[in-house]
Structure 1
Amino acid sequence: MIMATRSRKRQREDQRIEMGKAQIDLEEGWGVIEKGITKVKSTLEGRDETPLNSETYVRIYTTIFTLSTQSHPYNYVNELHDKYKASLEDYITSTLLPLLREKYDEFLLKELVKQWSNYKLMVQWLSHFFHYVERYRSQKQSASSLTTIGIICFRNLAHREVKCEVKDIVISLINQERDGEQIDRALVKNILDIFVEIGLSDMDCYKDDFEDFFLTRTCGYYSRKGSDWFWEKSFSDYMRTAEECLKREMDRAARYLRPSSKVKVYKEVEEQLLTVYASQLLERENGGCRELFRHDMVDDLSRMYRLFNRMTYPLGLILHIFKQHIIAEGTAVVMQAENAAKNKQADKKDVVGFSEQIFVGKVIELHDKYLVYVNNCFQSHSLFHKALRDAFEAFCNKNIAGSSSAELLANFCDNVLKKGGSEKLSDEAIEEILEKVVKLLAFFHDTDLFAEFYRKKLAKRLLFDRSANDDHERSILTKLKQQCGGQFTSKMEGMLSDLTLAREKQASFEEYLQSNPNVKLGLDFTVITLTTGFWPSYKSFDLNLPAEMLKCVGVFKEFYTTKTKCRKLSWIFSLGTCNIVGMFESKTVELIVTTYQAALLLLFNSSDRLSYSDIVAQLNLSEEDVVRLLHSLSCAKYKILVKEPDTKTISPTDVFGFNLKFTDKMRRIKIPLPPVEEKKKVVEDVHRDRRFYIDAAIVRIMKSRKALSHQQLVTECVEQLSRMFKPDLTAIKKRIEDLIVREYLERDTENPNVYRYLA
C-alpha cells in the first residue's frame, strides 16, 4: 500500500470535500471503484507490475466516502457493501478456484497457500477502500467487519470445495513422514494455519474440518502398525518403538497442530499402541513384564513405567507382577536359608549364626535392589512403595529352621555389633548395615519379639564386655527410636546409661578400698550395679559362696550402704565370671569360668572326692544347674574334673574328683557352659506382655470414645498395636470379654454388639 505524505493527506481531504459537495450516482461511482479493484487483481496476479498510485487510491477512497455519506435516497452504503462481497466472490470463482482445480497432490497445497496469501492481500486492500462503508454500517446496525466477510466468502466458496482433497494430501504427507521420508514441513504448517485462520478465532472449523479427520486417520495408521509390531517385535523392542512414535507425534503436534490437539493425538496413539495390547504385552510368555524383572532390564522397566503409568489397569498389572516377583525371590531366600540350616544340622555342625547371616543378608540385598527399582525405574510412586512393603511382609515373617524372623534379625544385629563380628568392616559400612536393618524391621510383624531378643543380646554384650563399639550401640538405638518410638528403646537406652553409672560406681568402690587400708579383699573384685527395671530378668539363687567370695560381697554391701539406703541389692551370681588358677601336675593353668563353676571347683580345695548329692547340697543350686556345671567340667572339651563312672552323662550316683593330670597347650583357657535354650521363655514372656498391651489399647480407646461397636473397637485396636506386633483378632476378642468380666466395659443393653466404657 502506497503511503501518502502529510501534504498529500491534506490534498486528499480537500478532494473529499469537493466531491462531497456534488452527488454521485451509484453506477458512475462504481465504475471508478471497479477500475481500482481490477487494478488490485492485476497486481496480485502479476499481470500488472505498476503499483497503485496515490491519486487513484484517493479517488477510489473519496468516491466510496461520498457514496456512503450522501443524504437519502442517494446513500448507497448497503449497495456498496453488497458489491464488495460480490467482488470477492467473483474473484474466488473466476480466478482463484480455476487455479486450484488444475492442481493436485502437493502442488495443490502450494497453490492454495499462494492463493490464500494473495486473497488476504486483496481483502486488505478492499477493506481500506471500503473503510467508510464498514464505519457507517457499524454505527447503524450490528454487522460483520469487511475482513470477516472476506474470510467467510473464501471459506464458503473455496475452502469448502477443496478441503477434503487437501486433508487427504496433508495426511498422506504426514504418513510419509511417519514412515521416515522427508516432507515439506513448512507447507503442512501453512495449510493447517489456513484451517485455523478461516475459523475467525473459533476453533470449530479447525476441529471439524481437520482435527477430527486427522485423529481418525492417525488411529487407523497406528492400529495397523500396532498389530504388525505386536507380532513382529519383542516386548522391549515394541516399547522402544511405541515410545519413539509417541515422542515423534508430540514433536509433530508441536510443529503443525494447535496446542489443544496435542493431548488428543497422544491419547489416540497411546490407545492404539499401548492400551489395546497392554495386558497381552505385559503378560507375554518368555518376554513380558516378568522377563524384565528376571533379567534386571532396568532401562526397559523405566520405559515400561513411563508408557503405562497413566493407565489404571496396566499399572495395576505391573504392580501385581512386581509384588509376586519379589515374593518369589524372597521365598527362595527363605528356602535357601532353611535348607542350609538343615544341612548344617545333618552334618552335626553349629548352625548358630548361620541362618540369620544367609536370610538377613540376602533380604537386605533384595531390598536394596528393589528399592532402587522403585526410586529410579518407577519414580518413587507410592503404589510401588506399598507393593514393595507388602511383598517383603509376605516372606519376612516366616519361621526358618524353627526360629522366627524377629529372632534371626536380632541375632544378625548381635553378630554385627559384638567383638569379632565385624572386624573387617569400616565404621561407615557398619552404620550403613545398621540403617538397612532398621528399615527392614518395618516389614516384621513381631517387632516386640525382636525388641526382647535384641535386649537379651544387648545385655550379654554389655555385661560380658563383648560389644565392639559403644557408639554403634547408641547409633542403632537412635535409629530404632526414630522408627519405632521412644517406648521401644527406653529400656535399652537405660541399660547403656546403667553401665556408665556402674563404671563410675566401681571407681568409687576402688577409692573406698584405698581410703580404708584395713579392708583387704585378697583378690580383684569388680561389681556391675544394675537397675532392675531396665535389664532382662535372670534366675537368682542363694549360692553358697566360698569364703573368699563371701568376704568380697560383704565389703561391697558395706560400701553400698554408705551411698544409698533406699535401694536393695540382689546378687545375680549366674552372670558373674572368675579367673582361678588350677595347680595341675604338668603345669599351672589359669581358668576363666563362671561364678557357679568357680564355686564348684573351689569345693575341691577341701575335698579330694565329692558325690553328686554332696555338690548339690554344698552349692545350694537347682539340680538342673548343677548338671550343667558338672557336664562342662567333666564331660566336655576340658575335663578339669574326673568322674566315676566315665560316661558322657551326669547322674545322681556319680562321684567327682579333681583331675591333677589335666594338661593343655594353653596356659589360659576359657571353659564355657552348655547354652541354655532361652527362646521359648522369651516367646512366652512376649505373648504374656501382649495381653497387657491389648488391654491397655482397648481401655485407652474406650476411655476416649465412651461407646464403640465391636468392629470399630477391633479396627482401632489393631491400628494402635500394629507398630509393636500384628494382634490376633481372636486374642483381642478374648481380652474384650475379660475386660467386661473385670467391669472395665459393658455391653449396650439395646445392641449387644456395642461396648460402653465404665468409668
Structure 2
Amino acid sequence: MMPVIELEHGWSLMETGILKLKRILEGCPENFSGEEYIALYSAVYNMCVQKIPKDFSKQLYDNYADVINAYNKETVLPYIRTKHGEYMLREFVLRWNNHKVLVRWLSRFFYYLDRYFTARNNLPSLNLVGLTSFRDLVYQEGQSIAKDAVLALIHKEREGEQIDRALLKNVVEVYVGNGLGEMEKYEDDFESFMLHDTASYYSCKASSWIEEASCPDYMLKSEECLKKEKERVSHYLHSSTEPKLIEKVQHELLVVVTKRLIENEHSGCRALLRDNKMDDLARMYRLYHLIPQGLDPVVDLFKQHVTAEGNALIKQAADAVTDQAESASGVQVQDQVLIRKIIELHDKYMVYVDECFQKHTLFHKALKEAFEVFCNKTVAGVSSAEILATYCDNVLKKGGGTEKLSDEAIEETLEKVVKLLFYISDKDLFAEFYRKKQAKRLLFDRSGSDDHERSILTKLKELLGGQFTSKMEGMVTDMTLAKDTQIGFVGYQSDKTKLGIDFTVTVLTTGFWPSYKTSDLNLPSEMVNCIEAFKAYYATNTKHRRLSWIFSLGTCHILGRFDKRPLELIVTTYQAAVLLLFNNADRLSYTEILEQLNLSHEDLARLLHSLSCLKYKILIKEPMSRSISKTDTFEFNSNFTDKMRRIRVPLPPMDERKKVVEDVDKDRRYAIDAALVRIMKSRKVLGHQQLVSECVEHLSKMFKPDIKMIKKRIEDLITRDYLERDSENPNTFKYLA
C-alpha cells in the first residue's frame, strides 16, 4: 500500500512548485523539469485518491483558488496601481498574459482534481476559477483606467500621431478574454465608450468641414476617415466592432449633414451632375449606398436633374417648331433632332447609372421615371409616339433619310430607339404610326434594307411580344411573296399575249396592312387590260382568294409628249387616269372628268389641284386660281417643260394623324372590353375599384388607359349582359357567363 500523504505535507510540496512558477512569471530564468512536474502532479493525484477522511480534494480545490486570489491581490494589483497611461496598459497586458500562463500550469498540476472532483460535484473548472479571479480582482479595477488610456491613444492616432497598435490589440484581447467566452465585457466596458467617443469626435469634424469644404472635398475627407476606421478595426479592434463603428462614423459625417451636403447649391449632387463630375458622383454613391435610405435624396436629385434636362429638350424642340411653322420639312427635321438628342441624353445617363451608381435598381427606376415624364409630352401637337415612329422611318429609308449611317450605326440606333419606346405610354399609337410608315417604305421601294426592317421587328418583339409585331412581320413577308408572284406573272406573260407596257402587281394580305381607301375608279383601257391579265394569272394559282384593287397606292410612269421635249412623269394611278383622258380630248370640264373617272369631288379636286395648281402645271386650269371649282375647265399644257427628264408629280399631303388616332382609340375600346371580360371571367365577382386597377395594370404595357373610358366600357358591358351590378352593393360587379 502507498503511504498516506497528509494535507500539510502534500500542500508544502505544492507550495514549493507554485512559488517556483511565480518566480518564472516574474522573469527568473527557471524551468520545470519533467521530474518536478510529475512529482507535483503525483502529489495532487495521491491526495485525491486516498480514502475518506484522507481524500483532500475539497481542500485542494479551495487552496487552488486561494493561491490565485492571493497572487492577484499581493503581486499583480500593486504593480498595476503604480503605472499610468501607456505604461499601465503594458502592465495590464503583461499581467493578463502571465495570469493565463499561471492558470494553465496550475491546471496541469491539478489536472486529476479538475477531471474528477470538479466534474463529479458540478463545480466550476479550475481554469474558470483562475480566470474569474483575475476578472473580479484585477480586470474590474483596471479596465476603466485602461479604457481611458486606449481612447486617448486612438484620439492621438485620429489626429495623425503614430501609436503602438500592437499594444492596443493586446489590450483589446484583455477585454475580450475577460468576457470568458462572451462579448459582454468588451462591449460594455470598452466598445460602448469607444463608440460614444467616436461619435463626439466626428461630430466636431463634420461641423467644421461642412462650413469650410465643398461637397467633393468633404466626401474625400469622409471616405478617408471611413477607410482609416476600417483599418483600425483590422489592426487592433475586435471584428464585431466594425459595423457599429462604421455606422457611427457614417451617421456623424454623412447622415447628419445629408441635406446640406447633397443639396449644396454650388457643389452638391446637382452641380456634380451638371458639371459631369463622374468620380465625385461615384464617391457619393459609395458613401451613401450602405446607409439605410441613404441613396434616396441622391436618387431624387438625379431624377429631377434628368427630368429637367429632358424637359429642356422638349421646350427647345417646340420653340424651334414654332419658328419654322411654315415649313413642314423644317418641323420634321426638328423632330428628328429631338429624338437624336433624347437618345444622346439616355446614353449619357445610362453611363452614370452603370459606372457611377453601379447599376443600382433605384437609379434605373429614377432614370425610367424621368424619361417617362418628358418622353410622353407632345411637341407642337405631335405625340412622342408619332415622332419616334417618324424617326424610325427616317433611319430605315434608303440612304437613311437625313441620317447617313453605316449598317452598324443603324443597328445601334434601332436598339436605342426601342429602348426609348419602353418609356412611351402610347405604344399602340407608335405601332399604328410605325405600320403606316413601314407600309409606304415597303410599297414604294423606299426601304433601305430588309435586314434592318426585320432587325427592328425582332427588337420590338423581344420588348413587347409577338402580338405587337405580328402584322408588321406579315407585311415584310408579304413583300417577299409578292416578288415571287410578280416573277411568276412575268413568266406567264411570256407564254401569252404581251401587254405592251410594264405592269407590276404587289399582292398583300388584308389583315396585315393598314386600311386604305378604295373607289370604283373607271380605269383607262390600257390599265383594264393589265388588270384582267393579272386576274387570269392569279386564278391559275389560287381559287379561294379574292383580289381587291387599291388604286390609291399605285404608281405609274407615263410619257408626256410636250412641244419642247418629251418628259417622263411619275404619278399615282389616279393622276395617270386623269392625264390619259387628254389623249382623246384637248380640253375637258371638271364635270366631264368627274363622270368619266367616277370619283368623288374630294378625290378629284385633290388630283386636279396637284396637276394644275402646284409646282408642275401639266394641266392649264381656267380660270386660274389656287382652288378647284366644279365650273373649271382643264387643258393639256403642251408648252410645259422642266430641266429634268424625269419628274415626280406629288399629291398634296394628307393629314393622316387624325385617322390614326381615331383607329387607335377604336382599338383601345376593344382592348379595354377584352381585358374587363377576361378579368371578370377569372374572378367572377369584383369590386369597382379593384376591377379598374386590374384593368389598368393589364393594359399598361401597351397604353395608359383612361379611367373614364374604362368606366364607360363597364357600363357598356352591363348593357350588353356581360356584367351585372350586385343587387346589395352597386360598386360590385358579377360576371354573367
After TM superposition, is the score higher than 0.5?
Answer: yes
**2:572 counterpart of 1:591:** no
Q: Letter of the aligned partner of 1:716 in structure 2?
A: E
Correspondence for 2:678 among 683, 700, 721: 700
Cα 1:741–1:117 shift into 2, 3 Å: closer
Instruction: Find the aligned partners of 1:532 and 1:272 in 2 and give their Cα distance.
Output: 70
Query: Which residue is equivalent to 2:215?
Result: 235
**2:192 counterpart of 1:205:** no
Is the 8 Å Cα contact of residues 611 and 617 (structure 2) preserved in structure 1?
yes
5+ residue gaps in structure 2?
none
**2:600 counterpart of 1:619:** no
Correspondence for 1:474 among 423, 443, 454: 454
Correspondence for 1:558 among 536, 557, 581: 536
Correspondence for 2:228 among 248, 259, 267: 248
Correspondence for 1:362 among 321, 341, 351: 341
RMSD of aligned residue pairs (Cα, Å): 2.1
Query: Which residue is equivalent to 1:7?
Result: none
Cα 1:570–1:72 shift into 2, 3 Å: closer
Query: Which residue is equivalent to 2:399?
Result: 420
What's the secondary structure of 1:398's corresponding residue?
coil
**2:3 counterpart of 1:21:** yes
**2:590 counterpart of 1:608:** no
**2:716 counterpart of 1:738:** yes
Cα 1:569–1:119 shift into 2, 3 Å: closer
CA deviation profile, 1:468-527 (whole Å, cap 9, x unmatched): 0011111111111221222211111111111122111111111111111xx231211111
Instruction: Find the aligned partners of 1:21 and 1:534 in 2 and give their Cα distance.
Output: 115
CA deviation profile, 1:638-666 (whole Å, cap 9, x unmatched): 22222233333333333322222222221
Cα 1:129–1:559 shift into 2, 3 Å: closer
Q: CA deviation at 1:140?
A: 4.2
Could you state the TM-score of these two structures normalised by the residue count of structure 2?
0.95
Correspondence for 2:545 among 567, 574, 587: 567
Cα 1:139–1:365 shift into 2, 3 Å: closer
Q: CA deviation at 1:426?
A: 1.8
Query: Which residue is equivalent to 2:84?
Result: 104
Query: Which residue is equivalent to 1:32?
Result: 13
CA deviation profile, 1:151-210 (whole Å, cap 9, x unmatched): 222222222222111111111112222222221111111111111222221222222221
CA deviation profile, 1:538-576 (whole Å, cap 9, x unmatched): 111222222222221222222222333322222211111
Instruction: Find the aligned partners of 2:116 and 2:572 in 1 and give their Cα distance.
Output: 118
Correspondence for 1:374 among 318, 338, 353: 353
Cα 1:23–1:521 shift into 2, 3 Å: closer
Q: Letter of the aligned partner of 2:580 in structure 1?
A: L
Q: CA deviation at 1:127?
A: 2.8
Q: Which moved more, 1:66-75 or 1:719-728?
A: 66-75
**2:693 counterpart of 1:715:** yes
Correspondence for 2:504 among 517, 520, 526: 526
Query: Which residue is equivalent to 1:305?
Result: 285
Q: CA deviation at 1:405?
A: 0.8
Instruction: Find the aligned partners of 1:715 and 1:61 in 2 and give their Cα distance.
Output: 84
Q: CA deviation at 1:57?
A: 4.5
Instruction: Find the aligned partners of 2:659 and 2:115 in 1 and give their Cα distance.
Output: 102
Could you state the TM-score of these two structures normalised by the residue count of structure 1?
0.93
What's the secondary structure of 2:294's corresponding residue?
helix
Q: CA deviation at 1:613?
A: 2.5
Cα 1:28–1:344 shift into 2, 3 Å: same
Is the 8 Å Cα contact of residues 92 and 142 (structure 2) preserved in structure 1?
no
Q: CA deviation at 1:719?
A: 1.6
Q: CA deviation at 1:61?
A: 4.1
Q: CA deviation at 1:134?
A: 3.2
Instruction: Find the aligned partners of 1:599 and 1:84 in 2 and give their Cα distance.
Output: 125
Query: Which residue is equivalent to 1:544?
Result: 522
Instruction: Find the aligned partners of 2:60 and 2:341 in 1 and give their Cα distance.
Output: 91
Q: CA deviation at 1:119?
A: 2.9
How is 1:130-149 mapped onto 2 (pairs within 5 angstroms)? 130-138=110-118, 140-149=120-129
**2:37 counterpart of 1:42:** no
Instruction: Find the aligned partners of 1:111 and 1:202 in 2 and give their Cα distance.
Output: 24
What's the secondary structure of 1:579's corresponding residue?
strand
Is the 8 Å Cα contact of residues 355 and 400 (structure 1) preserved in structure 2?
no
Using the aligned pairs only, state the percent identity. 57
Is the 8 Å Cα contact of residues 489 and 534 (structure 2) preserved in structure 1?
yes
What's the secondary structure of 1:591's corresponding residue?
strand
Query: Which residue is equivalent to 1:8?
Result: none
Is the 8 Å Cα contact of residues 324 and 331 (structure 2) preserved in structure 1?
no
Q: CA deviation at 1:318?
A: 2.3
What's the secondary structure of 2:329's corresponding residue?
coil
Correspondence for 1:182 among 146, 151, 162: 162
Q: CA deviation at 1:319?
A: 2.4
Q: CA deviation at 1:60?
A: 4.1
Aligned length: 736
Is the 8 Å Cα contact of residues 355 and 408 (structure 1) preserved in structure 2?
no
What's the secondary structure of 1:350's corresponding residue?
helix
**2:388 counterpart of 1:388:** no
Q: CA deviation at 1:441?
A: 1.1
What's the secondary structure of 2:295's corresponding residue?
helix
Q: CA deviation at 1:268?
A: 1.6
Q: CA deviation at 1:249?
A: 1.5
Query: Which residue is equivalent to 1:690?
Result: 668
What's the secondary structure of 2:330's corresponding residue?
coil
What's the secondary structure of 1:756's corresponding residue?
strand
Is the 8 Å Cα contact of residues 574 and 607 (structure 2) preserved in structure 1?
yes
Instruction: Find the aligned partners of 2:43 and 2:379 in 1 and give their Cα distance.
Output: 105
Is the 8 Å Cα contact of residues 353 and 412 (structure 1) preserved in structure 2?
no
Q: Letter of the aligned partner of 1:485 in structure 2?
A: G
Is the 8 Å Cα contact of residues 696 and 704 (structure 2) preserved in structure 1?
yes
Correspondence for 1:581 among 545, 559, 580: 559
What's the secondary structure of 1:610's corresponding residue?
strand
Query: Which residue is equivalent to 1:10?
Result: none
5+ residue gaps in structure 1?
1-16
Instruction: Find the aligned partners of 1:735 and 1:50 in 2 and give their Cα distance.
Output: 101
Q: Which moved more, 1:136-145 or 1:393-402?
A: 136-145
**2:641 counterpart of 1:650:** no
Q: CA deviation at 1:79?
A: 2.9
Instruction: Find the aligned partners of 1:248 and 1:98 in 2 and give their Cα distance.
Output: 37
Correspondence for 1:630 among 608, 612, 629: 608
Is the 8 Å Cα contact of residues 325 and 331 (structure 2) preserved in structure 1?
no
Cα 1:314–1:280 shift into 2, 3 Å: farther
Q: CA deviation at 1:136?
A: 4.9
